[in-house]
Each structure stands twice: as structure tokens, then as C-alpha cells.
Chains A and B, each alone.
Chain A
């Protein structure tokens, strides 16, 4: 067989794969946008801008910043609830965030391989349709649990202002504040959680760009179009 023919056959064996369905992609970008708004407004709530001149009744700057924070937070929460729903309704890739196969030895081998790849110790990464094992681990612990923590503490803090009778107070404030001891500790950890998620965002954006250039599959365009493209024709290493 000539090389050209071989390439043609394996190219047929390695077509683009539809990985991320439209609802999941919409969730990704809505979530990203709400995270940016939450981080900027959250920082401004902790460190308010210089004072506004004039009468108090003529200004509502802090009020608007807090409104933006709460509005984005509601979108963030609704998006997360939808994301859980989509884990049941979507394709297999929609479940990857929630269930890293930590019981699989091969998968941990894959994690180790990726660590070596990032430490410049291996010449070539493996090829994956979904997340690589290290990315799955990272997404699960940084994004998923960071999000859960921020939603729980955030709703508890919101419930403080909404007060008893509001669902956020009854479902979250009433037990989260005693769990942490007092309100100030919840504020402190909510603030720390923001930095935790910011670290996630930095790594996530950097790695997505890097992998888009250096790995053997497409990344950024996949989260736009849903299709995973491959840069070579050799078989994917999923599950190894």
C-alpha cells in the first residue's frame, strides 16, 4: 500500500467527532461570562471603588455592583443546575466532569503521562476525544467543587440580606453560618473561593490555548463548534 492510500484509510478511521452538544457549549460560555462578572463585581464588593460625590440619594453605585453580582450569581446557579441535568441527558462527554474514573489504574497512568507531558519529559501527548485524564481531574476538583462551594456559601451570604423566610436563608444561611461559626468566616472563605476559581480560570485558559497549539487535537474551536478535529491520523488513546 502506498503511503497516500494508508493515510486516506486512517483519515477515514479518524474523522472529526461531535463531542460537545449545543446545550453544553452554551452552558460553557454563559458560565464563563457569569464567572467574569462575578469575579469583577465580587472584588469590587470586597474592595469598593472610591467614594461617589453628592447626595446618597443621587447615587446607587454599590447597589448596582451588588445587583450585577446577584444577577450573575443566579445565572451561575441556574446554569449549574442545568449542567447537572445535562449530565443525565447529554452524551457521555457531558458526564466526564462529574465522574473521573478514579478507580481505573489505566486512567491514573494517563494522568501520569499528562504530568510528564506538561513537565516536558515526553515528546508527544496522547490523543483524546474528551478531556485527557489530568484535565478531568483538574476540572473535577477545581471547577466542579469550587463551583459547589461558591454556590453554597454565596447563597448563604445572600440569604443573610434576604432574611428568614426567603429560600436562600432557609436552605443555606440557616446551616452554613453555624457550620463555619459565624458570618465573617463565611465571607472570608467565599473570598478565598474567588481566588481559587481565578486560579482555575488562569490555568484553564492557558492550557486550552497551549493544547490547541501543541496537542494532537483541536480544543478552542471544539468548544465553539462542538466538533473535535485531529491533527494526525493515528488512533486515539481514549481509555488508556
Chain B
């Protein structure tokens, strides 16, 4: 049986007296009457912590690396008191059949009541690799994913791998790595995308905390990302934004403007096209983020960011006819050709007119038959 919140609090040394005080205070803080204190206490005593199955597909575990560095809330509080992290093959103590049995047990006991956290994505290639590009416990990861997804209450797609596909899905994508929401036959559980390579630690714990506290999904945008973290661009909250508006830019990596901390727009910052909370929440407990460290944003939380040209190009490269180019080169060339053609045509028109007049053609001209 999964522990309730009350049991966890008792285990951590909180007396029943303190617990009841806490419930009364919570009711008062929420503006509820005294009658609600016992209701809150009852909920805390009877509501089990939400079981979480944390699966790993094709990925680099950078999401987990980020997650365990969460400072607000501390990741130990999330794992030890808020959720019941029943399965996470990266950090769990048990291994082998013992570990895999937990999945079946969770499905059996908590079907429809657990959260499925997906880190990484499955390779769907059934051809050359026979779906064997990612094996968990002797079986394709796809099987584990499908089996658990059908019983999950909700699915969280951690990171750019699960959300968009990321590097293993970049061209030519040999394993047909596919983001979670595009995997066929997954059931109907709602999918929350938390993109980033990796996502910010506090965003990850924040999403989980929200779901536990309010017992519902955070509101999502059209692409399935929580609005509270992904509704604004890096650019919108960037502390270097005043330099952008002033027209003060770093031109080269080692110039005076770089030392002065001017805007990195001209050296390819993708902040204006990247939806994430880096410039608001920052990293490592709010210490810094790439732009603060003097490096442009590479847009790691955006769909398909590996295949959008260089990390230092704000415009997508256009690879037509094998020529590497960008919108300005293509457009500039087209404009030059059109302009040149117009000039040549003008010259031709002048010649035609001179010749017609030279041939004694009157203003009326001969009727064309």
C-alpha cells in the first residue's frame, strides 16, 4: 500500500498535534471556515501519494541530471514526500526482474491513477533494427511504453526527446526515433510536454507539484506545453533586452560589446524564437543561464532545433539543390536576378524601339495579324 501524505509527515517526525495545526492554518490561509480543517486532515490522511513510473527511452539522461538538481522544491522532497517514485531504472535500488515486476504491480494496483513520466523516446524502426534500437529488460522499449501508457492517468514528456524527438530524431533519423505524442497506439492519457535539453529543474518539479497540489493538469498551449513556463520567449524576459531595444549588440565574440554584456542577437541568439523560462527561472538554483554566461540561446526547447541550421543562425538554413543557404541569400539572389533581368529587358526594349523607329514604323504601328 502506498503511504498517505499523513504517514509521510509522521515518518519525518511531525507530531499529530503539529499536523492538525497545519491543517487548521491551511484552511485559514485558503479563506475557508473552521469546518474545513478536519476535511483537509481527512484528505491528507486518506489520499495516497501519486505513484509515478519514470521510463527511459532513447536519450542521454540529461533530464534526470537536471531533475535531481531542483532547489525549489528540493528534489528529495519531491521524491520522498510528494510522489511515490515506484520505477525509475536510472536511480532505483532494485534491478532486473525485481525492477520490471514493479511496473506490472503498479498497473495492477493503480491503473488509471499513476503518472507516466517519459524521458527519451522510442525508435519505431521495424525494418533494419527491428525495433531493437532500445531494449529494456530484454524487450523493445516501445512495448513497455505502450503497456504503461494505456493505464496512466497522464503522461509527462520530459525534455526535447520525448516532446519533439531531439538529436536522435534529427535527419536522417536512422532509428525512426519518434516523440511520445506521435507514437501510435498509446491510449488516451493526456500528454504534457516539458521540452528543453534538458528542461529546467524547477520547471520539472514545478509541473509535478502543480499536478499534485491541484489534482489536475496545468493549462497547456496548443502544442501541449504548460503555459506557466512556456508562454513567453527567452527574449521577452531577457535581462539584456534593454541593449536590444537600444540597438547595442555584440558583433564578435571577443569585442568590447561582449565584455559590456550587450545583446547577443547579432551573434545568433535564438532567444527571440525560443519559448522557455530560462531567463525568468534560470539554472542551478537561479544562479545563471546561457545568455547571462555570455553565450547565445541555441533554442534547445524548440521543435526540431537540431535541423534548423547552425546554432548561431537566427534564420533557418535552406538546403535546396545541395547548396547551403539562408533566406537572405536566396531572397537577395532572387532580387538580384529579377533586377538584372529587368535591366536587360529595358535594354532590349530600347533596342526594339530604336529599330522600329529606324525602320520608319509610324507611331500607330502596323496591325499585328
Contacts and interface: CB of A to CB of B under 8 A. Distances in A.
Contacts of B245: 56, 60, 62-63, 66
Given A57-B242, A195-B332, A214 B314 contact: no
Contacts of B353: 213-214
Contacts of B98: none
A52 B274 CA distance: 26
B348 to A, nearest CB: 6
B302 A183 contact: yes
Interface stretch (B55-63, B81-89, B206-214, B334-342): B334-342
Contacts of B257: 51
Interface stretch (B119-127, B135-143, B182-190, B247-255): B247-255
Contacts of A58: 246
B328 A184 contact: no
Contacts of A47: 328
A202 interface: yes
Contacts of B46: none
Interface in B307-323: 308, 314-316, 318
Nearest to A189: B327
Interface string B254-281: 0001000010011000101111000000
Contact of B273 (A63, A182, A206): A182
B79 interface: no
A141 to B, nearest CB: 14
B270 A206 contact: no
Given A48-B249, A123-B356, A210 B339 contact: no
Contact of A183 (B222, B275, B332): B275
B308 A164 contact: no
A192 interface: yes
Nearest to A61: B247
- Interface-centre pick from A120, A123, A188 (highest chain B CB count, 10 A): A188
Contacts of A74: none
A8 interface: no
Contacts of B346: 206, 210
A161 interface: yes
A191 B327 contact: yes
B368 A51 contact: no
A128 B367 CA distance: 16
Contacts of A214: 349, 353
Interface string B34-75: 000000000000000000000000000000000000000000
Contacts of B314: 46, 184, 187
B363 A52 contact: no
Given A124-B365, A214-B353, 15 more contacts: A48-B266, A51-B248, A56-B243, A56-B245, A66-B245, A118-B345, A182-B273, A182-B303, A183-B275, A184-B273, A191-B328, A195-B332, A196-B331, A203-B338, A210-B345
Interface of A: 46-52, 56-63, 65-66, 118, 120, 122-124, 160-161, 163-164, 174-175, 177-178, 181-185, 187-189, 191-192, 194-196, 198-199, 202-203, 206, 210, 213-214, 231-232, 234
29 contacts: A51-B249, A51-B251, A51-B257, A56-B245, A58-B246, A59-B246, A61-B247, A123-B366, A163-B231, A174-B221, A178-B223, A181-B303, A184-B270, A184-B299, A184-B314, A187-B272, A188-B327, A191-B328, A192-B330, A195-B332, A198-B331, A199-B335, A202-B338, A202-B339, A203-B342, A206-B345, A213-B353, A214-B349, A234-B367
List 9 A-B pairs, minimum CB-CB distance, nearest first: A195-B331, A61-B247, A59-B246, A183-B273, A206-B342, A62-B247, A184-B273, A191-B327, A56-B242
